[in-house]
């Protein structure tokens, strides 16, 4: 454990439903190319408005994963 090295990437996920769903969309997309994802942190929560309503949420996360040995 004590000699692991992690890389952290920044992603923005979108969703018309909720903050949680926007994060899940970003992580689902990342899972296609990144193994060993370990944690995330929300750094920004925004949204796009259309016709006086929330069209979609845009949530930016930092995502940490273990670099392969």
Shortest Cβ 32–its own copies spacing (Å)? 9
Question: What part of residues 10-49 is at the interface with its own copies (CB under 8 A)?
Answer: 10-16, 18-20, 23-31, 37-42, 44-49
CB burial string 3-29: b at 16+ within 10 A, e below: eeeeeeeebebbbeeeeebbbebbbee
Distance between terminal CA atoms of the chain? 12
| Shortest separation between residue 25's beta carbon and its own copies, angstroms | 6
Give the interface with its own copies as residue ranges (CB under 8 A). Answer: 1-16, 18-20, 23-31, 37-42, 44-49, 52-57, 60, 62-64, 67
């Amino acid at each position: 454990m004590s000699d692991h090295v992690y890389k952290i990437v920044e992603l923005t996920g979108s969703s018309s439903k909720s903050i949680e769903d926007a994060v899940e969309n970003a992580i689902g997309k990342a899972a296609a190319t990144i193994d060993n994802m370990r944690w995330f942190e929300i750094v920004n929560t925004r949204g796009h408005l259309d016709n006086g309503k929330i069209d979609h949420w845009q949530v930016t996360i930092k995502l940490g994963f273990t670099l392969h040995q």
